[in-house]
Amino acid sequence: MTQLERVRTANAVHAQVSAWRSAGDRVALVPTMGNLHTGHLSLVDRARELAERVIVSIFVNPTQFGPQEDIQTYPRTPVEDESLLARQGRTDLLFVPSEQEIYPHGTADIVTVNLPGLANELCGRFRPGHFDGVASVVLRFLNIAQPDFLVMGQKDYQQLTLLMRMLEELHLHTELVTTATVREPDGLAMSSRNQYLTPEERQVAPLLHAALADLAVELQQDAAAFQASRSAALEELERRGFRPDYLELRHADDLSMAEPTGLGRARILLVAAWLGRARLIDNLLV
């Protein structure tokens, strides 16, 4: 069992990482917004496999929320989160900074990362500026922790693709390591926002992943009919109470547009849909 230490300042992280480096230890970072669940713990497990030292950060980043989004109601459970990590016993350092620590000059006029055009597609089309906010805060955490590994889950696939581009183009010496989406027994991808679902909506929510699975089978069986199958899937989701934002087929390596009949490159189905107050996202490699 690893002894968990909680710190609140970048200087404290610098000092600890410097000591670890002197001992020859590798460092893995797991960035989160808290309200931790089994999916987050799986990231910590993977981080521990990669490195001798693990840092988990908890920070609800204001710059990735739009004006009408849920930053005020986003679930915050700091005591429970720290207890969960302590019981797991695989995290060395819990970094819980204040907003002022990360944005010392406020958030109205900050240094930002301007991501390429993909940031304005898929989820970015419905959440303008979201991915620039994500990349800007992740870059800050990378500069603070200077980890060998950045460990994140595949549920936020567009986010991963954009962060990979940032790491490559800015020549950052951190390896992005991804882990499979952790799901509930009925297939729903784990997410802190799932708790927005009413009991009735929670029963319906797994249909989002089921729609992807059915569409993947139909794509393999009759690629020429994909657009008709996609339209039928969207209609069925709407009939069951979802409000879809998109359901698209893209290339898995860079999320460029993919043809249903295309061969030779891995592809991925991506979906985002509202169900009540919860905006759910999911994806499936095909």
3-state SS class at 113: coil
Helices assigned H by DSSP within the chain: 10-22, 38-50, 78-88, 99-102, 123-126, 130-145, 157-169, 199-204, 207-221, 226-239
Can you spell out the DSSP letters for 215-266?
Answer: HHHHHHH-GGGHHHHHHHHHHHHHHTT-EEEEEEEEETTT--B--TT--SS-
Distance of alpha carbon 267 from alpha carbon 91, whole angstroms: 34
- Backbone angles phi and psi of 40, in degrees to 5: -65, -40
Q: Which residues pair with 285 in a beta bridge?
A: 268
The yes-or-no answer on residue 40 being catalytic is yes
Token pair listed for 183: 């799901």
Tokens 């922790």, residue? 145
Token pair listed for 160: 């991963």
Calculate the CA dihedral of residues 251, 257, 259, 260 and round it to 10 degrees: 70
Out of 14, 37, 40, 171, pick the active-site residue.
40
Kindly list the catalytic residues: 40
